[in-house]
Amino acid sequence: MDERHERIAAENKMAEERHYSGIYKKPVPLISPEECYINTNNNIIPILFSKWTVYGFLSFLVTGDQGCGKSTYLKSIARFYPPSAALRVSELQPELNLRFAYPNRNILAFAETGSVSVQDGLDFQKKTSGTVNIIGEIATAPAASWYSQTCKVASRSGAGTHHAKTVPDLITAFAMNMMSVAGYNNEKSVEVMVADAIDVDIHMARDRGDRFCERITEISAIKQEAYPFPDITRAKFENAVVEPEKAALVNEQEYYKRVTDRATFSYHNLCEFDRKTKTYEFVSMFSDEFIKRILANIPADEEKLFVQDMNAILKVAGKGKLL
């Protein structure tokens, strides 16, 4: 990084076929969410979904290919965190520069050095009363571990960027990273843990030079449920007594489902982008569970504002009112 906070990559022919250097990331001026959606229709839909994802302290990732505007959008919507929120940023190299973008906010950024690792920074952050932990770029297995260990335990919520293209790819990549770093050996259990740590996936894309949010997706972990007949000696079904042999057979069938193809997460899009018409289309509302979580994380006097914004989305989409 230079004094202008540009990221400079240089190679002295140790691995390259020739000497190479280049400026990869120039400092991006802070832009509003509206400026991220120029030349598009109904952009109020992704903006309001993003707003309440952030303000309601849902953990989220901004995903997409390189150069699609992930860091730019994450930096832009960070404004939606309440002013009282203490933001803690962890990066291998300082790129987000949130403290410079929001100088009046409680922001503390950590970057890895030769003698201090990101994990050391995370351990110290736990002593700084942080509200939100932001991992600048999750591109390695350790980074996935950093996100997972902080967003549900050490902080109120988490955020970051990732290069995944789809939600299943995102969950699988995280699970593989967690298993390689943290020593987990049950893939299904790890997928549940990962899905529980990523509430929303804001996927960015670009087409012929235009950047846009391709979709916003809500993700829910499918937690372990009790077997159909926990006690086969007193098994009942619809007020009828079930023979122990039949109850055991049903439980055995459920067991094999769980160890083979048990679903570990579910997801549905909140909005999507139509590339032909350059229009954002409403798909579905936050689930009841997520609405309850958002309302629990905001002041009571702002619940009406949340309802108003959700109704504004439904109005643009030509749907009925939320409440």
Arithmetic mean of pLDDT, 87-115: 86
SS3 of 26, please?
A: coil
Burial pattern 121-147, b for ≥16 Cβ within 10 A else e, equals bbeebeeeebbbbbbbbbeebbbbbbb
- Name, of 223-232, 237-246, 284-293, the range with top average pLDDT: 284-293
pLDDT band, residue 3 (cuts 50/70/90): very low
| Domains of the chain, residue spans | 1-29, 31-222+263-317
How far apart CA 27 and CA 43 sit, in angstroms, is 25
How far apart CA 291 and CA 56 sit, in angstroms, is 9
How far apart CA 311 and CA 264 sit, in angstroms, is 31
Closest by CA to 22, choosing from 11, 32, 31, 30, is 11
Pairing of strands 236-237, 157-162: unpaired
Query: Residue 204 pLDDT more than 50?
Result: yes
What angle in degrees, to the nearest 10, is found between the helix axes of 141-149 and 167-182? 90
Torsion over CA: 79, 80, 86, 91 (sign): negative
pLDDT at residue number 120: 81
pLDDT at residue number 116: 78
Query: Residue 72 pLDDT more than 50?
Result: yes
pLDDT digits (tens, 9 = 90+) for 106-121: 998 888 777 877 778 7
> Across-strand partners of 10?
21
pLDDT digits (tens, 9 = 90+) for 173-184: 999 998 888 777
Which tokens in the block code for residue 47? 């903006």
What angle in degrees, to the nearest 10, is found between the helix axes of 44-55 and 303-317? 160
Arithmetic mean of pLDDT, 308-322: 88
Q: Using the 8-state DSSP alphabet, how is residue 233 labeled?
A: G
pLDDT at residue number 12: 64
CA 156 to chain centre: 13
pLDDT band, residue 235 (cuts 50/70/90): low
Query: Residue 132 pLDDT more than 70?
Result: yes
User: Where does 31-222+263-317 sit in CATH, by number?
Assistant: 3.40.50.300
Q: Tell me the pLDDT of the chain averaged across its residues.
A: 85
pLDDT band, residue 272 (cuts 50/70/90): very high
45 and 280 Cβ atoms separated by less than 8 Å: yes
Arithmetic mean of pLDDT, 19-45: 76
pLDDT band, residue 2 (cuts 50/70/90): very low
Q: Which residue has the higher pLDDT, 29 or 82?
A: 82
Q: Which of 63-77, 165-179, 240-254 has the lowest mean pLDDT?
A: 240-254
pLDDT digits (tens, 9 = 90+) for 15-25: 556 666 666 55
How far apart CA 260 and CA 241 sit, in angstroms, is 29
How far apart CA 90 and CA 200 sit, in angstroms, is 20
- Cα angle value 182/183/187 (rounded, 5°): 100
- Name, of 41-50, 63-72, 124-133, the range with top average pLDDT: 41-50
> Across-strand partners of 62?
161, 202
Q: Which of 244-258, 261-275, 305-319 has the lowest mean pLDDT?
A: 244-258
pLDDT at residue number 87: 93
Ramachandran angles phi, psi of 134, nearest 5°: -115, 120
Query: Residue 247 pLDDT more than 60?
Result: yes
What one-letter code names the amino acid at 111?
A: A
88 and 134 Cβ atoms separated by less than 8 Å: yes
158 and 197 Cβ atoms separated by less than 8 Å: yes
